[in-house]
Amino acid sequence: MSSLRVILASSSPRRRELLTLVGIAHEVIPADIDETERRGEVPAEHAERLAREKGVAIAHRHPDALVIAADTIVVIDDRVLGKPRTADEAGLMLRTLRGRTHRVLTAVAVARGTRLVSGVEEVDVTFRDVSDADIAAYVATGEPMDKAGAYGIQGYGATIVRRIEGDYFAVMGLALGRMVELMRRLGYRYEFGGRISE
């Protein structure tokens, strides 16, 4: 266990699960920021800016802690698909994605005090050509409703994915390899078992 205080600036249960998977003890303190896309902002810039703003917001309030923040977006046809607001919107998103390849962008930011580093992991995900009935049944489970692009790769949504090219954990919401690399850039080393040393 790490003696360094680690804060996850996210309420995502998937991100919490991934930090736990690699043994990093952490607190959860979600960052409340405006996630509106800015005019002229390309998707990767948007995701990275949000991750950085989340990291800065929590690091400012807890300068003693190592803060991990992330943001995940789904992009198809140069359009960002956020979290669906209704079941109908979820169905529309899934019909747009079916049988096609889309891109998942997960930005990760690591901060301590006034120091901040960040990066973006890009993954191509291809869906099976699922039927309207399958899409309706999936939406009815409720799983798509709090997820970018209206699917969760670690849940029922795994059955509609045909191929992933890139970091599976980035699609779940936290690119662990990128996170460890960013920690190293700040001067912290992840040790197997979950300890983080300076």
Straight-line distance from the first to the last Cα atom of the chain, in angstroms, rounded to the nearest whole number: 14
Q: Which two tokens stand for residue 126?
A: 């291809």
Tell me the sheet residues that pair with 103: 75, 124
Describe the crossing of helices 87-97 and 132-140 by its angle, rounded to 10 degrees. 140
Q: Which two tokens stand for residue 100?
A: 């096609």
| Pairing, β 66-76 against β 79-81 | antiparallel
Catalytic-labelled residue, pool 32, 34, 64, 71: 71
Q: Which two tokens stand for residue 110?
A: 């690591």
C-alpha atoms less than 13 angstroms from C-alpha of 153 in its C-beta half-sphere: 24
Tell me the sheet residues that pair with 119: 108
Q: Residue 192: which of 171, 174, 176 has the closest Cα?
A: 176
Q: Which two tokens stand for residue 56?
A: 């800065």
Tell me the sheet residues that pair with 177: none
Concerning whether 71 is annotated as a catalytic residue, the answer is yes
The set of catalytic residues is 71
